[in-house]
Amino acid sequence: MKKSHDAFNILVANIAHLDYTDELCKLYEESAKKRGTGIAKRDPKYIQEKILQDKAIIATTSKNELAGFCYIETWEGKNYVANSGLIVKEEFRKFGLAKRIKKFVFNYTNTKFPSAKIFGITTSLAVMKINSDLGYKPVTFSELTQDDDFWSGCKSCINYDVLTRTERKNCLCTAMLYDPKQAKEKKFLKAQKIEKKIPAKLKTPKAQRNKK
């Protein structure tokens, strides 16, 4: 039976969702095997930690089935934030759920860490498209966090040797970054450009124009 766009609940995961941990770890491992790339394993305790820290987003069906998941990682004193581990169960794909989860976690991250640069690395064209729509830009690996703990998380990926051989300069993943400072500047410049295009007479309130 086809599920509608509104058939899923997306929210910040809480203690009630800890029971999904083992299922999530299996999903990550199976997904990496099918794609032939990506981080193959997540530690159950790490997933649980993210849930208890209010740093995980979960999607469930009306019957409380696990549908999708994503979590937040912070690096370098919260100057960098990664929205990581986006996954949607195969039977719930093609309903726009990945995009909805991504948008939810992006907005949540912007609220929770308003000054942080949000980044991610991925081999998925679909995720790249979603990131681009949200305002991410492709960047070099040097523009991401240089925290060793972040990069050590790639160790279970089959392409980790590529990353180490290039001294973390590139790999099969594409790096994407959202800089809130640049986004605000771009928005300001766009507003100024629109302002300049408005005829002077239209900038005067209608009531004042009628008095002339």
One digit per residue, pLDDT tens: the chain, 212 residues?
Answer: 445 556 899 999 999 999 999 999 999 988 888 877 666 678 999 999 999 999 999 999 999 999 999 999 999 999 999 998 999 999 998 899 999 999 999 999 999 999 999 999 988 898 999 999 999 999 999 999 999 999 988 888 888 999 999 999 989 999 999 999 988 887 666 666 666 666 666 666 666 656 55
Q: Does residue 208 belong to any structural domain of this protein?
A: no
The predicted structure's pLDDT at residue 6: 62
- Laid out side by side, the sheet with 8-12 consists of 8-12, 56-61, 66-75, 80-88, 117-122, 174-178, 137-139
212 assigned to some structural domain: no
Where would I find the beta strands (DSSP E) of the chain? 8-12, 56-61, 66-75, 80-88, 117-122, 137-139, 174-178
pTM, full prediction: 0.80
- The answer to whether 67 and 27 have CB atoms below 8 angstroms apart is no
> In terms of C-beta density within 10 A (0-12 exposed, 13-18 middle, 19 or more buried), how is residue 163 classed?
buried
- Do 173 and 123 contact (CB within 8 A), yes or no? yes
What per-residue confidence (pLDDT) applies to 1? 43
Q: Quick count: other Cβ atoms within 10 Å of Cβ 62?
A: 10
Residue 1 lies in a domain: no
What pLDDT was estimated at residue 158? 86
95 lies in some domain = yes
Provide the number of structural domains found in the chain: 1
Residue 36 lies in a domain: yes
CA 183 to CA 78: how far, in whole Å? 18
In a domain, 200, yes or no: no
Which residue segment(s) compose the domain that 141 sits in? Answer: 8-194
| CATH classification of the domain holding 128 | 3.40.630.30
